[in-house]
């Protein structure tokens, strides 16, 4: 394979991985949303997978998010309560609080997922399942948490370095500053 073919294959794999992760996040949100309205406290992933067909890698990541949210729900809810200015968790729309729980689980307990990805995917879920006001609300909470939580210092630096590299690189469409006297 020549280098350009490798690049195409690599890009295709990344795109497929990205889509499956997005599908997994959406399924996790759907499960968590439904779980809030069930009378019994038992949340059955087995039953969920009987009703929802998904590829094994999608099921794996979905399950990881769901189980992570359940395992750390007290900590996640405390963070949300601490940073959701003038909002109580119970007053918050069910979709919003579950998007936050999923994104925060990724930020704190999945170090391999870049912060930018966790935040962007949370905003995509909000765009799809909530409204523009929710999107701004979620973005504000996630931004404050990234800025102030010491456990996220590494992810905060990752975001800052991405911003700096984006700023320092000229845009492809922008004219390059050339001194006409040296050409």
Q: What is the pLDDT, as a whole number, of residue 151?
A: 95
Q: Render pLDDT for 147-172 as a digit per residue (tens, 0 to 9).
A: 999 999 999 998 888 877 777 666 66
Residues 38-58, mean pLDDT to the nearest whole number: 84
**What are the structure tokens assigned to 14, written together?**
């990344």
Query: Is a pLDDT exceeding 60 seen at residue 180?
Result: no
> pLDDT above 90 covers what percent of the chain?
67
- Domain positions in the chain are 8-36+52-168
Report d(CA 101, CA 99) in Å as an integer.
5
Report d(CA 155, CA 111) in Å as an integer.
8
Q: Render pLDDT for 20-30 as a digit per residue (tens, 0 to 9).
A: 999 999 999 99
The architecture (CATH level 2) of 8-36+52-168 comes to Orthogonal Bundle (1.10)
């Amino acid at each position: 394979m020549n280098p350009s073919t490798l690049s195409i294959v690599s890009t295709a794999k990344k795109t497929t991985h990205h889509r499956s992760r997005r599908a997994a996040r959406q399924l996790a949100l759907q499960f968590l949303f439904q779980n809030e309205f069930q009378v019994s406290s038992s949340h059955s992933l087995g039953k969920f997978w009987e009703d929802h067909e998904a590829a094994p890698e999608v099921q794996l990541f979905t399950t990881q998010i769901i189980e992570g949210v359940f395992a750390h729900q007290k900590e996640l809810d405390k963070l949300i309560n601490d940073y959701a200015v003038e909002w109580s968790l119970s007053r918050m729309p069910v979709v919003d609080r579950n998007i936050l729980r999923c994104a925060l689980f990724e930020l704190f307990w999945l170090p391999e997922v870049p912060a930018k990805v966790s935040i962007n995917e949370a905003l995509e879920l909000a765009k799809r399942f909530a409204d523009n006001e929710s999107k701004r609300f979620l973005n504000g909470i996630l931004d404050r948490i990234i800025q102030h939580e010491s456990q996220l210092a590494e992810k905060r630096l990752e975001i800052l370095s991405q911003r700096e590299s984006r700023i320092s690189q000229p845009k492809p469409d922008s004219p390059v500053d050339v001194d006409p006297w040296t050409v």
